[in-house]
Structure 1
Amino acid sequence: MHNQTLLLIDGFNLLSRGYFATSYGRTEEELQKNSKGVYTNALTIFFQKMLNLVNEYQVTHLAVAWDVKREETKRRIDYDFYKATRSELPAPLIQQYEICKNVLDNINIEQLITPPYEADDAIGTVSSKWSSETNGHCYIYSNDRDLFQLLNENVSQVIAGKKGDIVYTINHFREDYSIEPNKWVDVKALLGDKSDNIPGCPGIGEKSALPLIQHYGSLERVYDHVEELDKKFNRCKKKLVEGKETAFISKQLAQIICDIPSLKEINFDKLKLNVLNEKFLSELEDLELRIRMVHINVF
């Protein structure tokens, strides 16, 4: 499978960023709607970005991964505090999510929804299968840095920045952090994650978490040596001892699952870009979305 490129889009990451970027400082009444009163501010950004990415990276295979309801996730079932601090999503965003899923269905784009697993896990399973079974590259489109743990020679992450997208590769990661991507979860285990309400090891912050993993190689090895820590980590010892339980729970929560049974057998032909061009245009027209169409050979 030479010259084949897979794009995995973190659906909610793109749709919600589009929504909040265009709703900032506006009431729901002021948001972009079409003549039927359907909200379209996030949909416009979603489909334009999807087209641009397919064009830019000469994508041959595509899937959009969606999260399942928070209370239905395996992590939430195991630990009820997981993501418990997140507020409810605005109604116009939920409406556009439902429409987005319908349009993708109608134009033949594969969607990954695999309860009780989350979008990250679906992306992890499919990207690792792709990189082990094909010679093609995989691009993950998301601003979620948890996904750094999935980077390898054949998997890169496209991150939106103020000056445009950055293609973040395994080499960038190694330069920035001096560890391997699969050790990122160990750093997250110590740091925690406020947005997901993952506690980490209380008192261990940015200045200590990464150096500890660089020095010892993993969370387990940090704790193997906790009684005789290198003296530069003396101030961490008490916090590490007191936070051991939450650190290990946090590692479990931060670890992306890369072996979802239902996706382990996925046939990549299902992900082949086979978009029905006329159907796509009519869907966009029906929603009155102003999208700049780009010429894509596979359409």
Structure 2
Amino acid sequence: MSEETQEKLLLIDGFNLLSRCYFATAYGKEWDQLTRNSQGLFINGLRAKIQKLLQLVRIHEPTHLAIAWDVKRNETLRKEKFQDYKGTRNELPEPLIQQYETAVTLFNTLGLPQFTIPRYEADDIIGTFTQKWRDEKQGECIIYSNDRDLLQLLCEQTSQLIAAKKGEIKYTVHDFRDDYGIEPSQWIDVKALLGDKSDNIPGVAGVGEKAALPLVQQYRSVEGIYESVDELDVKYKRYFKKLQLGREMAFLSRDLCEIYRDVPDILDLNFDDIRIKVNRSLLKDELSRLEINVRVG
């Protein structure tokens, strides 16, 4: 096996992981019940995040690592295209924001590769990394996130680790094809019809899960559906008017759902810049300073 096929890239959806760790450890608690260190910093979610990061590195032994962070939701390209994008989300709790800031400072000190790029979301950073890795490398790429929007990035090289009740599932392109009967690139078309409540992406009103996937399986894409909309299979007759009325929203939603794979800052990067170089002594010192007690290994 060549050195290049042994290389492995681990991509972390930074805020997805931190927020899951935060809400899991904050469930049913008031802010004053959350774990803080002697400096008054909240560390409940950050401790769990670091524990998980170290576990992922131990188990999967990546040679390269990148942590992708979102920008503020009102500063994204998608917000420019659709003002209501993510408009229904609540404000983030202050202890979570503080732990994000602490994490960024900590990772900078440790020299861990992390990326926040104006106007782009973490998904776009991850999407560009997967594409660049696919173009330049032969090794495996693993995405760690519970965000199913990222399924559109799956390929022979790229899989996604998804947390489930019975443990984490390594979800591959083969699993996706077996489950949905389409290619990962067509996931965008399914989402264009369904919309996304969490991101406030409208989709096509009245077209739900029973119709969205079968329509894409049969007509291949949003374009294919609308090219055939006047001659749709009789089993979709009840959706004819809904599709006609929702045409503009379908194409807008598809645009909003599609992950960018051409973020300039990432394309210009050299992969040697994100090789894992962990100074264990510094890591132990920084965790001790923050009073975060986890096994470093």
User: Does the TM-score normalized on the shorter chain lie above 0.5?
Assistant: yes
Gaps of 5+ in 2: none
Paired residue for 1:74, among 77, 85, 88?
Answer: 77
Q: Structure 1 unaligned segments of length 5 or more: list them.
A: 295-299
Q: Give the one of 226, 235, 239 matched to 1:236.
A: 239
- Which residue of 119, 122, 129 maps to 2:122? 119
Identify the residue that residue 287 of structure 2 maps to in structure 1.
284
State how far apart, in whole Å, the 1-side matches of 2:15 and 2:165 are. 19
What amino acid is the match of 1:202? A
What TM-score, normalized to structure 2?
0.98
- Deviation, structure 1 residue 36: 1.9
Q: Quick check: 2:13–2:67 contact (8 Å CA) kept in 1?
A: yes
Q: 1: distance between equivalents of 2:204 and 2:285? A: 52
4+ residue segments displaced more than 6 Å: none
Secondary structure of the corresponding residue to residue 62 of structure 2: coil
C-alpha distance in 1, partners of 2:123/2:60? 21
> Partners in 2 of 1:68 and 1:78 — Cα distance?
16
Shift of 1:265: 1.7
Q: Deviations over 1:238-264 (max 9, x none)?
A: 110011111110000000000112211
Match status 1:272 vs 2:266 = no
Structure-2 separation of matches of 1:30 and 1:164: 28
Alignment correspondent of 1:62: 65
- Provide the residue aligned with 1:158 in structure 2: 161
What residue identity is the alignment partner of 2:290? L
Check whether the contact 2:280–2:296 (CA below 8 A) recurs between aligned residues.
no
Which amino acid is 1:199 matched to? Answer: P
Equivalent residue letter for 2:138: N
- Structure 2 residue corresponding to 1:200, chosen from 203, 207, 211: 203
- What TM-score, normalized by structure 1, do the two folds share? 0.97
Q: Give secondary structure in 2 for the equivalent of 1:198.
A: coil
Q: Which amino acid aligns with 2:15?
A: F
Secondary structure of 1:211's counterpart equals helix
Once the two structures are TM-superposed, the CA of residue 2 in structure 1 deviates from its matched residue by 2.4
Distance 1:250 1:228 in 2: 23
The one-letter amino acid of 1:40's match is I
8 A Cα contact 2:146 2:162, kept in partner: yes
Partners of 1:113 and 1:127 in 2: CA distance: 16
Partner in structure 2 of residue 106 of structure 1: 109
Counterpart position of 2:95: 92
Measured after TM superposition, the shift of residue 175 of structure 1 is: 0.4
CA positional deviation for 1:31: 0.5
State how far apart, in whole Å, the 2-side matches of 1:266 and 1:35 are: 39
Q: Does 1:20 align with 2:20?
A: no
Structure-1 separation of matches of 2:64 and 2:278: 11
Aligned mates of 1:140, 1:221 — CA distance in 2: 30
Does 2:48 correspond to 1:45? yes
**Structure 2 CA distance for aligned equivalents of residues 34 and 112 of structure 1:** 27
Structure 1 position 79, deviation (Å):
1.1
Residue 139 of structure 2 is matched in structure 1 by 136
Q: Output the CA distance in 2 between the equivalents of 1:161 and 1:53.
A: 15
Spell out, residue by residue over 1:34-87, the C-alpha distance to the aligned partner (whole angstroms, 9 max, x if none): 122210011111101101111111111001000001111010022110001111
Amino acid at match of 1:119: A
Q: What is the Cα deviation at residue 108 of structure 1?
A: 1.0
Quote the offset at 1:112 in angstroms: 1.4
Q: For the aligned residues, what is the CA RMSD?
A: 0.7
Question: Match of 1:297?
Answer: none
| Partner residue in 1 for 2:186 | 183
Alignment partner of 1:211 is 2:214: yes
* Count of residues in correspondence between the two structures: 294
